[in-house]
Structure 1
Amino acid sequence: MAELDNEQGLKRVMKSRHLFMIALGGVIGAGFFNASGFTISQAGPIGAVLAYMMGGLIMYLVMLCLGELTVEMPVSGSFQAYATKYIHPSTGFTVGWIYWIGWSSTVAYEIIIIGSLMQRWFPDISPWIWSLIAGIVLFSVNALSARSFAETEFWFASIKVIAIISFIFIGLAVIFGIVPIEGEPAAPYFTHLTEFGFFPNGMFAVVIAMMAVNYSLGGTELIGIASGESENPEKTIPKAINQTAYRIILFFVLSIIIVVSIVPWQQIQPAASPFVTALDNIGIPYAADIMNFVIITSLLSVANSGLYTTTRMLYSLSSSKMAPRSFQKLTKQGVPLLALTASMGISCVSILVSKVAAETIYTWILSVAGMASMLAWMSIAASQYFFRRRYVAEGGKVSDLKFRTPLFPLVPILAFVFNLVVLISLVFDEGTKLTIYIGVPVAIAFHLIYILFLQKRVKKDVGSSVQEEYEKVRLINKS
């Protein structure tokens, strides 16, 4: 399929630095800068740190599974194609379409928030103007070429990384008394971490908080989506996966430790950014404006990555005969423009629905979106498990794999079970139980749609050619 992609025009133009920043761009967004306030208020200081550490561990296990699959089969559909091949075509169909819906609505959500945040500086200009400008810019960037998207995402994500690193250094200086906090006579060190006990709301609150953490970490799987357009995937993908996993865990965990060390836990509000609160406590001038700029950049970055992801996912579904064939058409630059237009169109529809039916249809869409990353992660773990078993059964040597998931089968089993536990725990929170009540029936409906209406046609059209395409990739990678 890697060869097939190249024959059809997808360009392998992304370097390791692009893949790394694409993954960061999909992860570090408003969900981290703002939703971390919910995590801290829910689980307490130590509980929040533990939730991010556990979330980081789950992410790393999934990334190890993804690494083996993408290096062996660097195709544009990534986990949707793997689920189709190694679990069941109905699973690939379901995961692909739910992921497409989820990210399309996420792009809409990010664009809406960009407009509202710009009102801080331009209160007389309608937020819809800024949302429109953001949408046009992102569409144009993605329409030019994969390289255009990758370079734009690299610089968007770089701003976020610089902001986080700067926050970490300033925060450490405050914690150890190098920079004093206004109104506090002594350095706080780490006294705020345990002054209310280790788990003030109980251990189960940590599990509930992990829902927000997993949502914040969703997006690392974008490396797999981009693998179909990466240079030398067997070299760039392992490097990008390791760099992404280590640095995301480091950035997230360190940032949360610093926030809860500077700001007493009970002062953190669920709906407010704890980073703004921390910067205000330090006395950084224009703290809210600085964070507003960083969050807007983060939103642009996430929306940019999301638009790229939805486009390639729709292209992959079309290649698998699970979406109209017209979405496979590419421009001379290798961009599936019709798939991009359709993805942007659904984002625009989501924006309109958010204004017309915010309490009904839009809530349902967001509920489905809430499942997208977790379903993707579970499918990655399951696909790697079945891939390895089939690979060995067909006479393949594990030592020949250029990226091997360690401790097989423990890693994929743990990755799947951990994600399943977090998914089930959504039922126990009033704010997230709709994700299960709406998302699960939608997932079942997609499976039934495939089995009742598409299964015979897809098998007839694709059939044995799927195996041949994967064998081509395997031969290419071994040569």
Structure 2
Amino acid sequence: MVIFDRINEKEDVSLRPDSTNEKTATLSQSHSHLYGNSTDSTESALPRVSLNSYSTSTASVETSANRRRSFYQRWIDSFKPINLEDDGVDTSRLTPLEKSILASAKHPLARKLKTRHLNMIAIGGSIGTGLFVSSGYALARGGPAAVLIGYIIVGYAVLTMVYSLGELSVQFPVSGSFNAFFTRFIDPSWGFTLAIMYYLSWAISYPSELIACAMTIQFWTTSINPAVYVAIVWVVILVVNFFGVRGYGEVEFVLSIIKVLAVVGFIILGICITCGVGDQGYIGGKYWHDPGAFNHGFKGVCSVFISSAFSFGGVELVALTAAETLQPKISLRRATKQVFWRVTIFYLLTSIVIGCLVPYTNNDLLNGEGIAASPFVIAVNQGGIKVIPHIMNAVIVAAVISVGNSSVYGSSRTLASLAAQGLLPGIFGYIDKEGRPLVAILLSSLLGLLGFLVVNKNEDAVFTWFFSVCSLASFFIWLMVNVTHLRFRYALRRQSRSTNEIIFKSPLGTWGSWTGLFLLLFIICVLIWVSAYPIDVHGSDVVSFWQSCLSLPLLILIWVLHKTYYKTWNQLWIKLEDIDLDTGRREADLDRLKQEIAEEKEKFRAKPFYYKVYHFFC
């Protein structure tokens, strides 16, 4: 199935690989003007300047005033809807699925993210409370060996997902990325269901990050109501997102550098403390023997999975930027490969260092409040280093702001993509002249006002139930990304297409997608088991189960309702031969693309061995 085969027979437009019609390139590029910067063509004319000094002075004042008015006018005009030129495409004969694919391909988001932005988003974009604080909870529940094993297992599953997603996003840099891919390669009902779950994950995470930021700042002073900090951070994040994707990219670039330097510095400091620097003397692997490497056995290892998922959450965000990336062919594949180093350095090495520095019996890991529960702070406090906790606290504040910023970005782009695909009312897909999904940003920001629950004594219980809505969502989304990648590859084969047209191939190929899929299925099953029969509880616990697994029946319910509403029970998934493999490419000339890929492969073969190894990981 190719959308443009059915658009207008008079124009004879086709995106088939064997088509030589020049209108193919014209049509696929007809929306390229949508992604540039929007400028106001109604600039006010400069006033005439008289030769006498008075007139010159007056003219200068008038010019300054006109420039100010022009700036304000441009600023006001930037919030108006983007002007979409009619490309002459008749969509009356398209199916809802075809309209959805076409809409996500030409959604007019601004392409302003550069390679450096994506690299830092990939490396440190979602490092936050999951690594800095929640890793302590995982350590207390499972022990140091369980944390390491959990991060390795979940890390590998995440790596297979990111590689699969990178291949698809470079090939089809469309609005919504994997949310649109679910609709396109599996089924619209799955696309809607998983996108809603993904949106809820970010939307609920945002107010909780605001609360975490307020509680972290209280490490220095408790004389100010934490609601004040929530309000300040909320305004800052809203302003950043009003600067558009470029503002988001620049802020994430700076904050990610801070987080990366902090984690690397902690690893170096942790190694030094383990080797004898500090008040404790030489530690080595002491805590791996006493109190031990494992706590609660196999169930302790399984309990680490949910904390690991929270730590890795947002790693897929780099693919969501595909439609707003200037050069996805270069930037996205580089950023995708950076995830390997993020998994290895920031999670595996950190888990080893933390396991050596903090025993899982430490009381603050489970009972400490805010920053006091962070194994990073506990480790340096035990080492007798006084100033480092303040530095780590500042880093955690920066990390929480970064994740809050990503929450607004991720939820707003998901909402806008759903609207563009026709799965939500069109108002949510409102795009202004600067390429910002304005309504989606405002709605996502308004949900952040739930952060004022920080003044409520029961806010922990409230957010526990909020998070139960999307507790297993990340695992399901990651699993379905691997399914999507497999269906893309098999659709190529079914339609007699070659993998030679794939711009960036997953280093792990379909084998990686299959192993990642089964591994994620295993993780979901054991998490359901641990939720039903939690640690330290004799028998089953209904409350614990629903707090951890409420997302499972909710996911099924949304899918069933969507199927029923649109009456699509006759088709549970799209047939491989009907999958659209062309709409959304930025390279319209398929033959030229194949030639470029072949030339790149030929140059790569001539490179030395060490370069090939470097290229595989970087």
Q: TM-score, normalised by structure 2?
A: 0.71
One-letter code aligned to 2:550: I
| Secondary structure, aligned partner of 1:76 | coil
The 2-side partners of 1:306 and 1:254 are apart by: 26
The 1-side partners of 2:567 and 2:589 are apart by: 30
Q: 1:374 aligns with which of 455, 475, 487?
A: 475
Map of 1:141 onto structure 2: 240
The 2-side partners of 1:425 and 1:190 are apart by: 29
Aligned length: 467
| Secondary structure, aligned partner of 2:469 | helix
Query: Does the 8 A contact of 2:174 with 2:584 survive in 1?
Result: no
Map of 1:256 onto structure 2: 351
The 2-side partners of 1:263 and 1:205 are apart by: 17
Change (3 A) 1:340 1:477: farther
Map of 1:270 onto structure 2: 366
| Secondary structure, aligned partner of 2:402 | helix
Map of 2:288 onto structure 1: 193
One-letter code aligned to 1:129: V
* Aligned residue runs from structure 1 range 19-418, under 5 A: 19-177=118-276, 180-184=277-281, 187-267=282-362, 269-271=365-367, 272-349=373-450, 352=453, 355=456, 358=459, 362-418=463-519
Change (3 A) 1:324 1:415: same
**Comparing 115-124 with 236-245, which one deviates more in the overlay?**
115-124
Report the RMSD for the aligned CA atoms in angstroms. 2.7
Per-residue CA distance 1:202-230 (angstroms, 9 max, x = gap): 23321221221122111110011111111
* Aligned residue runs from structure 1 range 449-464, under 5 A: 449-454=561-566
Query: Does the 8 A contact of 2:183 with 2:190 survive in 1?
Result: yes
Query: Does the 8 A contact of 2:175 with 2:417 survive in 1?
Result: yes
Gap runs ≥5 in structure 2: 4-27, 36-105, 368-372, 535-542, 572-577, 594-618
Query: Does the 8 A contact of 1:24 with 1:157 survive in 2?
Result: yes
Map of 1:462 onto structure 2: none
Query: Does the 8 A contact of 1:25 with 1:301 survive in 2?
Result: no
Change (3 A) 1:237 1:342: same
Q: CA deviation at 1:470?
A: 4.4
Query: Does the 8 A contact of 2:284 with 2:356 survive in 1?
Result: yes
Calculate percent identity across the aligned residue pairs: 28
Q: CA deviation at 1:96?
A: 0.6
One-letter code aligned to 1:219: G
Q: CA deviation at 1:418?
A: 1.6
Q: CA deviation at 1:24?
A: 4.2
Map of 2:551 onto structure 1: 439
Query: Does the 8 A contact of 2:278 with 2:385 survive in 1?
Result: no
Q: TM-score, normalised by structure 1?
A: 0.90
**Comparing 43-52 with 71-80, which one deviates more in the overlay?**
43-52
Q: CA deviation at 1:112?
A: 1.4
Change (3 A) 1:53 1:437: closer
One-letter code aligned to 1:368: V
Gap runs ≥5 in structure 1: 460-465
One-letter code aligned to 2:439: L
The 1-side partners of 2:549 and 2:121 are apart by: 32
Per-residue CA distance 1:318-362 (angstroms, 9 max, x = gap): 111011111222222110111101111223247559949858764
Query: Does the 8 A contact of 1:9 with 1:332 survive in 2?
Result: no
Change (3 A) 1:357 1:264: closer
Change (3 A) 1:175 1:350: closer
Query: Does the 8 A contact of 2:175 with 2:320 survive in 1?
Result: yes
Query: Does the 8 A contact of 1:35 with 1:270 survive in 2?
Result: no
Query: Does the 8 A contact of 2:161 with 2:513 survive in 1?
Result: yes
Change (3 A) 1:123 1:157: same
The 2-side partners of 1:57 and 1:329 are apart by: 38
One-letter code aligned to 2:499: V
Q: CA deviation at 1:191?
A: 3.6
Question: Where do 4+ consecutive residues of structure 1 move more than 6 Å?
Answer: 466-469
| Secondary structure, aligned partner of 1:220 | coil
The 2-side partners of 1:110 and 1:359 are apart by: 13
Q: 2:117 aligns with which of 11, 18, 39?
A: 18
Query: Does the 8 A contact of 1:42 with 1:209 survive in 2?
Result: yes
| Secondary structure, aligned partner of 2:223 | coil
Change (3 A) 1:407 1:245: closer
The 1-side partners of 2:175 and 2:589 are apart by: 16
Per-residue CA distance 1:15-65 (angstroms, 9 max, x = gap): 222123223444311111111112212222222112112221111111111
Q: CA deviation at 1:83?
A: 0.5
The 2-side partners of 1:360 and 1:261 are apart by: 32
The 2-side partners of 1:358 and 1:200 are apart by: 29
